[in-house]
Structure 1
């Protein structure tokens, strides 16, 4: 039997659907817990209640991309989705002779690190980050000549239709007409668009690398870019407000989650980026988001 398919686990999610679009019906098989395929025309299998996958399907696959997981919930929910499921998938893949597993991982493993490279220590600050770190350790321990495993760490993902935390940021910005930044320390954050993340995950599935890798758009998000796009696409003028360091420190102390989102950078070193240095679709997707939000 020819192994020429890539199994996308978690195909109902936004990233899973982007993976199906990137691969197309000839290459992808969708795996979900529901009975319905997320896209018409794709081969589809159900994930068992224990997390197992049909052996006959795995024997058709050159790789499995695990895009399933949970970002919220109690400890049991996170462990089940982010640790138990990947472990079961890896064992099933190895037993069926699948040569390659790509695990979708997260920058959350690195906690509040403001600059990220290959030496940045794991310091997860929430249960989600801890569960993703545990999954990485388990999967990399099982990596072998029979099943090579690559854990691809992704930052914040968004699209014009699924903006996530960018939606409340846009709302707050246009209401107040300013963006805060710590004096002398502009906010720069690595992000990636769903479609670009999917393209890089497919490339990973077709490579021979193993271990931990990082993917982000080489063009980081920053407030100057957002202000420019708001002015050009929606005729909304925003000022960047320099917040004195003592005030920023107070926000960080009293409201740490808000401080991390508004005032802290999270930037990937270009040398650690699997993508290289050519900008991807972040700026254009931001423009689409602003146009769709403000009807321009």
Structure 2
């Protein structure tokens, strides 16, 4: 009898796992769009500390505003299914999960709200809420969200869910920085009319650190495919100052040291080019 119960439990867990979907792994798999954000949302950021929990090169990054109920919105490409199995207190109910790396102290709450994008008011536009607590600071962890409540006054049914609202450290004015990855939850209703695999940008160029710079700085960039790369430094008049890179490079993350002790104080621009794509960032030299 015990073996039979164990087999049934294993089968249930497997079925729950099959019903879930990773909405975005920041490596090409994507079945969502990012919507309005109260703070600063970067939908393609470098992973600050890859490890066994999250080994991806890329992730999402969010800098919280001082608004008490600061949030950002996620819009799946289609309606979410099987919401009622998540919206209950049963031990066997499936759980929404997300990987988090945060500057906030351990014990910080994270709330997810499932609702409809046709109604951005609370509580009418929210069907159900889920909560998790961080257990560490400046380290990746896998958060598992428990059902919190279905708010009184909700007018949203479980068959009309196409919005996820993320509230990090709600009821706080703290300017926390959050990295996030692999938000996984209810499957999208089939068929998904928008392809899950989207073309990533050829590269992403980041602000040099530190900036302003006295003598030494680092320019970081992410290549999403191999190719010929040039990285050039120009002065405010558009005159070339230094050629930093001109070569073929493989897919990956790079950090290029730049020594500025011989460069006069002023405003400069560095331009990363690959094929027909280019990106310009400003550098300030101030000794």
Same fold (TM over 0.5): no
The structure in which a higher percent of residues are helix is 1
Q: TM-score range by the shorter chain?
A: under 0.3
Provide the TM-score with structure 2 as the length reference.
0.23
The structure in which a higher percent of residues are strand is 2
Q: Which has the larger radius of gyration?
A: 2
